[in-house]
A and B are shown apart, each in its own frame.
Chain A
Amino acid sequence: MHVFGLIDGNSFYCSCQRAFEPRLKHAPVVVLSNNDGCAIARTHEAKAAGIRMGDPWHLARKRPESAHVAWYSSNYALYADMSRRMYQVLSERVPAVEPYFIGEMFLDLSNPPGDLYQRCSRLRQDVLKHAKIPTCVGWGPTKTIAKLTNGLAKAHPELNGLCDLTDNAVRQHWYARTSIDEVWGIGRQTTQKLQEMGIRAVADFVTLDAKSVRQMLTVVGGRVQAELRGQSCLPLLDVSGQRKSIASTRTFGRLLTEWHEIREAIAHYASRAAEKLREDNLEAAHLSVLIQTNPHNGDPWYARNIAITIEPTSDTRDLVQHATKLGRAIWLSGYRYFKAGVILTDLRPAGTQGLMFSGRPPEKSATAMLALDVINARFGSGTLRTASTGQERTWSPRQAILSPRYTTRLEEIAIARSW
């Protein structure tokens, strides 16, 4: 029989912060979104202090209950490395691991057969000991069940972080007590549709006629139902495949009105996207740029998106030039801009297509980009960059309370006193 597991870091971002700061062990910890906007990860102590998901920092920090909360800007360099550690610990112990999200991984637990409770308990211990991340593990005959099971392990502390739904009778017990909106793949609209029909618990949903589920919720909904019934439809996915797009999109550190500022930001995003392309040895043949105002602050709404097909390239200079030209075409004065982005699609392996119109000899471009990447790898990202990305960069995201990048920068590693 197939067994899928899902292992998920408990408040993953907060756990990464805790791994290097013992004083946070029992403290309420909150990690903020890009730009220190709102709460995106909370420890259970922070939840108990009344911090909700999406709470804006500038309001939440002033509440008296928040007095002891440790707030952090999101430190994605740290979280990515901790996620890498988690994946590696699991890969050494499980035949196949699919990183579904940064702190969340599907496991193939079908082989070897044996006591899964003991095995998953061991995995949890090892991830905690090696990668410093506390987790919950759920498992069952399908990915959808594994995901649901993990949610149960999280929500019910009496399960000690482990939950097994391989047994149908046990599943029925939980299905009767679990709301349909907890199911992976059932969104808000579907939930509403089902609730209007009087379907609230997972148990109600799995007993519906399969054909009418497919009619109502398309093949996708039908698959969710089949998976909940124990028929595996979704295999473990392989991430080693080539990426389909590269996006570099950010909200600005403050609202921007002037074109020259927005141009700098767009040039910067294009440069980052170009670096990611070269990391994977790819070129892009399609580029789009977006800019928009803030949908939440009452400003007039303006959002535009523009795209062109380009000669395949990964040269920062080409991509910056294309992106800023496109950005200029959609920028209008009089708006306060909140966000911009550069998205590269139609990716292909570098050098597969001869260029017809390029003004830049490919060998020279490759040499220049190699030099750029080597310098930035050694002296830090952005050391050498195009002048168009600006000097002051006052649009950079706010990261007022960023912790050190403990595992990726030598000058920022943790300090321990001896005595």
Chain B
Amino acid sequence: MAYRGDRTTGFASPAADNIEDPIDLMAAALDLRQPSRYPIRVEGEALMGRGIKHGDILVVDSAVAPHTGIVVVATVGSEMRVCKLTQREESDG
């Protein structure tokens, strides 16, 4: 049994009722068992500015609502592309 700040031998730990698990980045961001998460390998250096390099593996979550500025995997023509989502101004003419 690992010590989590709760069971002390001398004085009772005042934190015993407030034990929380450390952040699980695996579950929060990477866990591919989530039904909406898919791994994608990046080809090309165009998103270097966002820290995305050639050969990187992205965890794509299809449940996330798209919004301007995020990096998405999109179908362009008949190909899958990794790109930044921008919105074109509606022209009113």
Residues of A at the B interface (CB closer than 8 Å) are 22-23, 25, 84-86, 88-89, 129-132, 406-407, 410, 413-419
Do residues A22 and B75 form an inter-chain contact, with CB atoms below 8 A?
yes
Q: Which of B35, B39, B83 contacts A413 (CB 8 A)?
A: B39
Q: Can you list 11 residue pairs at the A/B interface with Cβ under 8 Å?
A: A86-B35, A88-B35, A89-B35, A89-B36, A130-B35, A130-B36, A131-B35, A131-B36, A413-B39, A415-B41, A415-B42
| Interface flag for B40 (CB, 8 Å) | yes
| Interface flag for B29 (CB, 8 Å) | no
Q: Nearest 3 CB-CB pairs, A to B?
A: A23-B78, A85-B35, A130-B36
Do residues A410 and B79 form an inter-chain contact, with CB atoms below 8 A?
no
Q: Which of A84, A129, A414 contacts B80 (CB 8 A)?
A: A414
Q: In angstroms, how far is the closest chain A Cβ from the Cβ of B37?
A: 9
Do residues B41 and A418 form an inter-chain contact, with CB atoms below 8 A?
no
Do residues A419 and B81 form an inter-chain contact, with CB atoms below 8 A?
yes
Q: Residue on B with the closest CB to A126?
A: B63
Given contacts A129-B63, A130-B63, contact A416 B35 (CB under 8 A): no
Chain A residues near B35 (CB-CB < 8 A): 84-86, 88-89, 130-131
Report the separation of the CA atoms of residues A18 and B46 in the bound assembly, to the nearest whole angstrom: 26
Report the separation of the CA atoms of residues A185 and B57 in the bound assembly, to the nearest whole angstrom: 47
Q: In angstroms, how far is the closest chain A Cβ from the Cβ of B41?
A: 5
Chain B residues near A417 (CB-CB < 8 A): 42-44, 79-82
Q: In angstroms, how far is the closest chain B Cβ from the Cβ of A322?
A: 36
Given contacts A86-B35, A89-B35, A129-B36, contact A416 B78 (CB under 8 A): no
Chain A residues near B57 (CB-CB < 8 A): 410, 413
Do residues B78 and A407 form an inter-chain contact, with CB atoms below 8 A?
no
Q: Residue on A with the closest CB to B47?
A: A418
Given contacts A414-B41, A418-B46, contact A22 B83 (CB under 8 A): no
Report the separation of the CA atoms of residues A158 and B5 in the bound assembly, to the nearest whole angstrom: 61
Q: Which of B38, B40, B62, B79 contacts A22 (CB 8 A)?
A: B79
Report the separation of the CA atoms of residues A87 and B33 in the bound assembly, to the nearest whole angstrom: 12
Chain A residues near B75 (CB-CB < 8 A): 22, 25
Chain A residues near B46 (CB-CB < 8 A): 418-419
Do residues B80 and A22 form an inter-chain contact, with CB atoms below 8 A?
yes
Do residues B38 and A418 form an inter-chain contact, with CB atoms below 8 A?
no
Chain B residues near A414 (CB-CB < 8 A): 38-41, 80
Chain A residues near B80 (CB-CB < 8 A): 22, 414-417
Size of interface on B: residues with Cβ below 8 Å to A: 28
Q: In angstroms, how far is the closest chain B Cβ from the Cβ of A266?
A: 35
Given contacts A415-B41, A416-B41, contact A407 B82 (CB under 8 A): no
Given contacts A22-B75, A132-B62, A419-B44, contact A407 B81 (CB under 8 A): no
Chain A residues near B79 (CB-CB < 8 A): 22-23, 416-417
Q: In angstroms, how far is the closest chain A Cβ from the Cβ of B87?
A: 19
Do residues A418 and B42 form an inter-chain contact, with CB atoms below 8 A?
yes
Q: In angstroms, how far is the closest chain B Cβ from the Cβ of A290?
A: 36
Q: Which of A25, A410, A416 contacts B81 (CB 8 A)?
A: A416
Chain B residues near A22 (CB-CB < 8 A): 75, 77-80
Report the separation of the CA atoms of residues A406 and B45 in the bound assembly, to the nearest whole angstrom: 22
Report the separation of the CA atoms of residues A130 and B36 in the bound assembly, to the nearest whole angstrom: 4
Q: In angstroms, how far is the closest chain A Cβ from the Cβ of B10?
A: 42
Q: Residue on B with the closest CB to A86?
A: B35
Report the separation of the CA atoms of residues A84 and B32 in the bound assembly, to the nearest whole angstrom: 12
| Interface flag for B73 (CB, 8 Å) | yes
Report the separation of the CA atoms of residues A22 and B44 in the bound assembly, to the nearest whole angstrom: 19
Chain A residues near B62 (CB-CB < 8 A): 129-130, 132
Q: Which of A85, A415, A419 contacts B83 (CB 8 A)?
A: A419
Q: In angstroms, how far is the closest chain B Cβ from the Cβ of A109?
A: 20
Q: In angstroms, how far is the closest chain A Cβ from the Cβ of B89?
A: 22
Chain B residues near A418 (CB-CB < 8 A): 42-47, 52, 81-83
Q: Residue on A with the closest CB to B56?
A: A418
From 38 to 72 in chain B, residues with beta carbon under 8 angstroms from any chain A beta carbon are: 38-47, 52, 57-58, 62-63
Do residues A413 and B40 form an inter-chain contact, with CB atoms below 8 A?
yes
Report the separation of the CA atoms of residues A88 and B36 in the bound assembly, to the nearest whole angstrom: 10
Q: In angstroms, how far is the closest chain A Cβ from the Cβ of B28?
A: 17
Do residues A416 and B39 form an inter-chain contact, with CB atoms below 8 A?
no
Do residues A406 and B78 form an inter-chain contact, with CB atoms below 8 A?
no
Report the separation of the CA atoms of residues A406 and B32 in the bound assembly, to the nearest whole angstrom: 12
Do residues B32 and A416 form an inter-chain contact, with CB atoms below 8 A?
no
Chain B residues near A86 (CB-CB < 8 A): 35
Besides A84-B35, A413-B57, A415-B41, 20 more A-B contacts (Cβ < 8 Å) are A25-B78, A85-B35, A89-B36, A130-B35, A131-B35, A406-B38, A407-B32, A413-B38, A414-B38, A414-B41, A414-B80, A415-B80, A416-B43, A416-B58, A416-B79, A416-B82, A417-B80, A418-B47, A418-B81, A418-B83
